[in-house]
Chain A
């Protein structure tokens, strides 16, 4: 009985995404809502443009490892120690993976006058919004949308390098800004050597037809490298004062929400302001991580598997703290917590044949002989008595039906 009450019954055929996009039915406050799609799914234009270069799941998970390393590294060292010149980035080798190239979600916004639509990765784990710009003075990668041309926009202007706005880049990017012909030069690097360098500028940003922001500060990237999967750049939704929520605070009060779709063949939304928020929402307190104040810190205090709370102390989670990040694919737990989670999960999944590990995922199953499977429910508990039941599609990471894995992983150390 406990199994029935505390498990998801999943049709195995539903585990793989469709090759056809199905639009979500949710109608939000459309005035301030953008459609969210997975970068590599059939709902994304990028998918149709560049099917041949879609990464494998193993590659996506490796990129996810790079992103997590980058986050840990950022939290481990002080910021603002590296000065960036526009020419420097040309000498930085980009490896065959990119932190922002991992399993990420994209939205389309408009920039400039007349407005040009750009598909950008949305990322709560970074702050600066940037897009590739013409002219490309270093390396630029292939993108789906036409590259933004500031010279064709009547509302574009550079930020001066002697301004306080320019100096504020240090906290937002972790790099001291540079100067080129009086223009402020920004540089942001994403830990695995992918980067964007260019002119810091302001421009009209059109989120929706009714939500338009003049003088939005963004990076006009003239030297960009990494596997960005055809996206034109990135929207930084972090907590720094240069992030999009901070720059639009007068209208939205730093209030935004999103829903990531259940699969890459369906859509979600990114919405700004109070409109469309569920009345059933449960809130926990945001915390601040002292070494990385732009991250959204949260307090995880417990986990349950199959309705049973794991016997781990809340202090185990608070030793290293936790953040929420839209750009990290797999939730990372303190290793002691992960061991307890996977051990209980394995116990409740013992009727299914095991499969080979997939990269960082070590608890995998072969469902080829089953038409439906029963998977234990998992809930995460946050400070303030907030229980968040994870959707069935959030418990499993599916490579193929013969390799379906528990979608959690452990950090290296409980104090990470």
Chain B
């Protein structure tokens, strides 16, 4: 598999919706 690693996730807000079966991203997530 390909893997989306944590360096590339930096500063994004990564949202896991396990019940809805969705994964979300928002830029500028930490500040």
Interface residue ranges, A against B (CB under 8 Å)? 24-26, 64, 68, 71-72, 75, 103-105, 124, 237, 239, 245-246, 249, 253-262, 266-269, 277-278, 280-286, 289, 295-298, 300, 317, 320-334, 337, 380, 382, 386, 388-391, 393-395, 397, 407-408, 411, 416
Contact = CB atoms under 8 A, between A and B. Distances in A.
Given A71-B3, A268-B30, A328-B5, A298 B19 contact: no
19 contacts: A246-B18, A254-B17, A255-B19, A256-B15, A257-B13, A257-B14, A259-B30, A260-B10, A268-B30, A277-B15, A278-B28, A283-B22, A286-B17, A324-B14, A331-B8, A388-B12, A394-B10, A394-B11, A394-B12
Contact of B29 (A278, A393, A416): A278
B5 to A, nearest CB: 4
A131 to B, nearest CB: 22
Contacts of A389: 27
A262 B11 contact: yes
A174 B16 CA distance: 23
Contacts of B17: 254-255, 283, 286
A320 B2 contact: yes
Contacts of A104: 6
Contacts of A325: 3-6
A86 to B, nearest CB: 32
A257 B3 contact: no
B3 A254 contact: no
A347 to B, nearest CB: 21
Contacts of A394: 7-12
Given A262-B30, A321-B2, A333-B2, A407 B16 contact: no
Contact of B14 (A245, A259, A289): A259
A285 B4 CA distance: 15
Nearest to B21: A286
- Majority secondary structure, B binding face: mixed
Interface residues on B, range: 20 to 34
Contacts of B8: 331, 380, 390, 394-395, 407-408
B10 to A, nearest CB: 5
Interface of B: 1-31
Contact of A322 (B3, B14, B25): B3
B21 to A, nearest CB: 5
Contact of B2 (A258, A285, A317): A317
B18 to A, nearest CB: 3
A282 B12 CA distance: 11
Contacts of A282: 24-26
Contacts of B27: 280, 388-389, 391
Contact of B30 (A245, A266, A323): A266
Contact of A391 (B10, B20, B21): B10
A107 to B, nearest CB: 14
A256 to B, nearest CB: 5
A184 B12 CA distance: 39
A22 to B, nearest CB: 10
B2 A278 contact: no
A282 B24 CA distance: 5
A53 to B, nearest CB: 21
Given A26-B31, A284-B22, A332-B1, 15 more contacts: A24-B31, A237-B16, A257-B15, A257-B24, A259-B12, A260-B10, A260-B30, A278-B15, A283-B15, A320-B1, A328-B6, A330-B5, A332-B5, A394-B8, A416-B1
